[in-house]
Amino acid sequence: MRITVTVDGTTYTDEVEPRQLLVHHLRDTIGKTGTVVGCDTSNCGSCTVHLDGQSVKSCSVLAVQVDGAEITTVEGLARDGVLHPVQQAFHDNHALQCGFCTPGMIMQSIDLLADDPDPDEHAVRHGLEGNLCRCTGYQNIVRAVQDAASKLKPGATHLVGGE
């Protein structure tokens, strides 16, 4: 099947197998290897991207389902070399170690902040429940999300969602 999808601002038209998962389309066809695969049961959230502004696990979406859609991956967040506030907050708060879960964590955190711009610790932990990290014990991730929230408050120039 032929699909057209806009990824990080660039439009791609490709033939895809009906069974092709979005994450494999992103990685293997389009070359967006910043988005990674960590499991095969949609538990880990490493492959989280934004589909028309909402976070999805791209292992649980078929490529054919995103025909005509707009996708943002971790590679499309920075603007003119300036990190998205959530990316910056992950760096500033040492919220990553090996960094494998980080793209998914960042994409989910942005979505979480779009729904709840000022989450308490409990809300952050529940908002990230579908994303697993094996390195950090989550504490600095929680801190990073709250730090980003404070920097994204009204007056901040960066749009939540990155779209």
Partner 1 sequence: MTATAEPEVGKARLRKEDARLVTGRTRWTDNLTVPGLLHLAFLRSPVAHARITSIDVEAARRKPGVVAVFTGADIADAQGSLPCAWPVTADQKAPQAPSLAVDQVNFAGEAVAVVVARGKAQAHDALEAIDVDYDELPVVLDLTAAVADDSPLVHPDLGTNSSAHWVFDSAEAGTGGDVEQAIAEAEVLVERTYRQQRLIPAFMEPRSVLVDPTGEQTTVWSATQIPHILRLMLALTTGTPEHKLRVIAPDVGGGFGGKLQVTPEEVVALVVATRLGKPVKWTESRSESLLSAHHGRDQVQKLTLAARRDGTVTGLKVELLADMGAYLRLVSPGVPILGAFMFNAIYKFPAYRFACTNVFTTKTPTDAYRGAGRPEATYAIERLMDELAAELGRDPIELREQNWIKHDEFPFTTVCGLEYDTGNYEAATARAKEMFGYDELRAEQRERRERGDSVQLGIGTSTFTEMCGLAPSRVLGSLSYGAGGWEHAAIRMLPSGKVEVVTGSSAHGQGHETAWSQIVADQLGVPFEDVEVLHGDTQSSPRGLDTYGSRSLTVGAMAVLKAGEKVIRKARRIAAHMMECAEDDLEFAAGKFTVKGTERATALTDVALAVFAAHDLPDGVEPSLDSEATFDPENFSFPHGTHLCAVDVDTETGFVKIRKYVCVDDVGVVVNPIIVEGQVHGGLAQGLAQALYEEAVHDESGTLTTGTLADYLIPSAVDLPHFDTDRTETPATSNQLGVKGVGEAGTIASTPAVVNAVVDAVRHFGVNDIQMPCTPMRVWTAINGGPTDAGGLGSEAGGGLGSIDTSGGAA
Contacting residues toward partner 1, per CB under 8 A: 17, 19, 27, 32-41, 43-44, 46, 73-75, 77-78, 83, 87, 90-92, 94, 96-103, 106, 121, 124-126, 128-142
Rounded to an integer, what distance in angstroms lies between the CA atom of residue 61 and that of residue 21? 6
Cβ neighbour number for residue 116 with a 10 Å cutoff: 15
Q: Shortest Cβ distance from residue 149 to partner 1 (Å)?
A: 15
Residue 151, H or E segment: helix 139-151
Cβ distance to partner 1 smaller for residue 4 or 43: 43
Contact 113/119 with Cβ under 8 angstroms?
yes
Contact 48/107 with Cβ under 8 angstroms?
yes
Q: Shortest Cβ distance from residue 88 to partner 1 (Å)?
A: 8
Cβ distance to partner 1 smaller for residue 46 or 55: 46
Contact 129/55 with Cβ under 8 angstroms?
no
Q: Shortest Cβ distance from residue 39 to partner 1 (Å)?
A: 4
Cβ distance to partner 1 smaller for residue 19 or 155: 19
Cβ distance to partner 1 smaller for residue 61 or 107: 107
